[in-house]
Structure 1
């Protein structure tokens, strides 16, 4: 799977997060909930954009193993956050150094932002992106970048409302031999 794909869901112009959404560091015990959110998020958001066989082959069990391995491997280099509502994990985001090919840049990159499909348009995504942007700014990053599927209109509107804009960079993501175009979004944080 692409390391670029970011799911739906700030800048100073975005409303404050809702008081019933708690953002905290992800732990190993969150991996299964995050895997469920990511798999269901892909299957919902990318239907019709990515081959259905690719989406059908995704499993929460396999994703849980991948999340545990990735969390341990990237500890310290990538910030993994979960959003809780009512004590239940309902969203996940991670950010770290921005990649431009093989090189890293001074900007941060939002590697992933996923919200459980039942929580779309409830403020969870907004709370996650605001928290990520605040942390990136506090860490000294001048900008934030992310990649989104070109055809994912909902995600693109979400990012634009959060203050990001397409910066002209494009590249394909391959799923089951099908090239799916991605566009890069960016914003200045300073």
Structure 2
């Protein structure tokens, strides 16, 4: 295997991040999202949004590389109160030190090579060093690959679910939570 690494994204990475997002969603979420939603993904709009995310500093965006290839990315930042609140709106005691992992994608052709674990591990270390205490992520209930990955990282559903409108089709997501010091279990 070529040398694998994780690095901070810069503005010039936005096009590649958008390409990975669109292509990965169209492949990995073909059974989860309606075809019209996947067909309507706009690479140019996604690129603009990722460029802003990388340059605004509102989120930490990391890239996974293997050799000269960018193979995946993740984005996270302080969890907004609306994302960390319980179903009744109550905030947990650690709401201000909780991180929301808003995106974690590795191109399927580069999967099962440790890239997602390196991304999440690097992200966890950075946020823990800055005082964060735990992380959360929203994952579609039907995304067994992502659920297995997070479970291997020591994260578990916290009992909170939400339903999004995915092009006229309901998409149920579970909120997973866990520590930022990852010990991956290999199955």
Q: TM-score, normalised by structure 1?
A: 0.83
1:58 match: 41
Compute the displacement of 1:66 (Å).
2.0
Q: Which stretch has the larger CA shift, 130-139 or 63-72?
A: 63-72
2:61 match: 80
2:137 match: 146
CA contact (8 A) 1:143 1:187 kept: yes
How many angstroms apart in 1 are the aligned matches of 2:33 and 2:24? 13
Structure with bigger helix share is 2
Q: How does 1:24-173 map to 2 (within 5 A)?
A: 24-73=7-56, 75=57, 77-101=58-82, 105-173=96-164
Q: Which stretch has the larger CA shift, 58-67 or 110-119?
A: 58-67
1:98-117 deviation digits (Å, cap 9, x = unpaired): 12317763211111111112
How many angstroms apart in 2 are the aligned matches of 1:153 and 1:136? 26
C-alpha distance 182-78 of structure 1, shift in aligned 2 (>3 A): same
Of structures 1 and 2, the larger Rg is shown by 2
Structure number with higher relative contact order (C-alpha < 8 Å, ≥ 6 residues apart): 1
- Number of residue pairs matched? 171
C-alpha distance 57-175 of structure 1, shift in aligned 2 (>3 A): same
C-alpha root-mean-square deviation of aligned residues, in Å?
1.9
Runs of 4+ that moved beyond 6 A: none
Aligned residue for 1:101, secondary structure, equals: helix
Aligned residue for 1:168, secondary structure, equals: strand
1:139-177 deviation digits (Å, cap 9, x = unpaired): 111111111001101110011001111111111122112
2:90 match: none
How many angstroms apart in 2 are the aligned matches of 1:100 and 1:184? 14
Structure 2 gaps of 5+ residues are 86-94, 182-187
CA contact (8 A) 1:40 1:117 kept: no
